[in-house]
Amino acid sequence: MKNKKLILLLTIFISFGLVLAACGGSGDKKESNGGDNEGKSGETGTSEDYSAAMVTDEGGVDDKSFNQSSWEGLQAWGEEHGLSKGKGFDYAQSNDESDYLPNLTRLARDDYDLIFAVGYLLQDAVTKVAEQNSDTNFAIVDTVVEAPNVASITFAEHEGSFLAGVAAAEQTKTDKLGFVGGMDSDLINKFEVGFVAGAKSVNPDIEVDIQYVGDFSSADDAKLIATRMYNDGVDIIYHAAGAAGNGVFNQAKDMKKKDPKKEIWVIGVDRDQHEEGKIGDKNVTFTSMVKRVDLSVHEVSNLGMNGEFPGGEILEFSLKDDGVYLADTNEEAFTEEIKSAVDEWKEKITSGDVDVPQTRKELKKFEESL
């Protein structure tokens, strides 16, 4: 497999995205880079006939997190090219893992040129469907599938989470932080490990309570976990739990309603979750670790439309190209002092002075070096 890191792609897309759009909307067929990247019948699409769809994981398209960000990116791409839902782009909702394979299969049979699978949980299903539908292009988010007609979209979550840990360590009044993950997996461990590493880089004595929901949809279970954490003195919880993370926000807002002076915070994930933290004139969202899933979906769709689908490649979006970053929407909480500290650590990471751990084993070595 080619292992091509498109570090500059996202930056180029943000600045010059309309260039690709103009190429895609020219109405002319464009030669593919190779046989593996060709669309159905050996041709690539134009803005008039190219179509793309996505399959959500169990969190659903309106999870206010990962799936929603992906859908927003696909919608933006479709609208840019004069398409509409059901006529050029669409999505299939998965209520549980048993829906992944049939959803992917149905969209392939519906002759979509490009199908996105949102989340590492769809890895096995994509592997199977991609092999069965070699003329269809697929893209999977957050993991790698080795197939010539699959593009693998990955992010440096550990880097963005490190900065979230730095910010939390600068903000906490109790020196007790919490992390609520969805499923205990290699991917979500990257969020956990990066967060702990960032916090302890500021203060090695900080305590981080780490707990997992077990899935990405059980908001009630996440709410119970958050209740215990806040009652135990944790004042900032970072969640990487998809739709289940809404339970963390709900508990923080409930406690804020009862005691408006209580200083408790939530760090959102995947998209800027500032809106989810609103409660009257207050807001419990301290910051969010944003992954530009929306722009990665938008970008890969344009590449496919232009005959440049990166089949068999790994696309990595990192801190260096703002593929991940911390939101500073809550200016009252995310002060200039905290922003300055975050920027200092960001420079250390992007310059190579700090190598952020990605696994618990790497974290142990990292802590020993502090």
Mean pLDDT, the chain, whole residue set: 89
Taking the alpha carbons of 288, 291, 292, 297 in that order, is the dihedral positive or negative? Answer: negative
What integer pLDDT is reported at residue 65 of this predicted model?
Answer: 87
Contact 140, 153 (CB under 8 A): yes
Q: Give 5-22 pLDDT, tens digit per residue.
A: 444 444 444 443 433 333
Assigned domain for 259 exists: yes
Position 210 scores a pLDDT of: 98
Q: What is the pTM of this model?
A: 0.84
What is the domain extent for residue 183?
A: 157-290+324-358
Residues 106 and 126 occupy one common structural domain: yes
pLDDT tens across 136-180, in order?
Answer: 999 999 999 999 999 999 999 999 999 999 999 999 999 999 999
pLDDT digits 0-9 by tens, 298-336: 999 999 999 999 999 999 999 999 999 999 999 999 999
Predicted confidence at residue 121, as pLDDT, reads: 95
DSSP of 15-29: HHHHHHHHHHTTS--
Q: Domain check: are 281 and 332 in the same one?
A: yes
> Do 299 and 286 share a structural domain?
no
Q: In angstroms, how far is CA 297 from the centroid of its own chain?
A: 11
Residue 292 β-bridge partners: none
Indicate whether 35 pLDDT > 80: no
The widest CA-to-CA distance across the chain, in whole angstroms, is 64
- Dist. CA 294–CA 291, nearest whole Å: 8
**44 and 161 assigned to the same domain:** no
Looking at the structure, do residues 93 and 165 belong to the same domain, yes or no? no
144 or 47, which is more confident: 144
The answer to whether residues 133 and 41 belong to one domain is yes
Same domain, 329 and 343: yes
Quote the percentage of the chain above a pLDDT of 70.
87
Query: What pLDDT score was predicted for residue 48?
Result: 63
Is position 370 within any domain?
A: no
Helices first, then strands: H and E counts in the chain: 11, 15
**Given a cut of 50, is residue 42 above it in pLDDT?**
no
Domain of 106: which CATH number?
A: 3.40.50.2300
**Considering the domain boundaries, does residue 34 fall inside one?**
yes
Using alpha carbons only, give the angle 250, 336, 234 rounded to the nearest 5 degrees: 35
Look at residues 331, 332, 314 and name the one whose alpha carbon lies nearest to residue 154.
314
Give the tens place of pLDDT for each residue, 56-90: 998 889 988 889 999 999 999 999 999 999 999 99
Work out how many domains the chain is built from and give that number.
2
Question: Own/partner pairs for 9-16, CB < 8 Å, 24+ apart?
Answer: 9/299, 9/315, 9/317, 9/321, 10/292, 10/295, 10/296, 10/299, 10/317, 10/321, 10/322, 10/323, 11/321, 11/322, 13/295, 13/298, 13/299, 13/302, 14/295, 14/322
* Number of Cβ atoms within 10 Å of the Cβ of 330: 18
For residue 269, give the H/E element and its range: strand 265-270
- What confidence tens digit (pLDDT) does each residue in 229-270 have? 999 999 999 999 999 999 999 999 999 999 999 999 999 999
H-only helix segments in 259-359:
293-305, 336-350
> Mean of the pLDDT values across residues 91-112?
97
Please give the pLDDT value at position 38: 42
Task: Give yes or no for a contact between 345 and 325, defined as CB atoms under 8 angstroms apart.
Answer: no
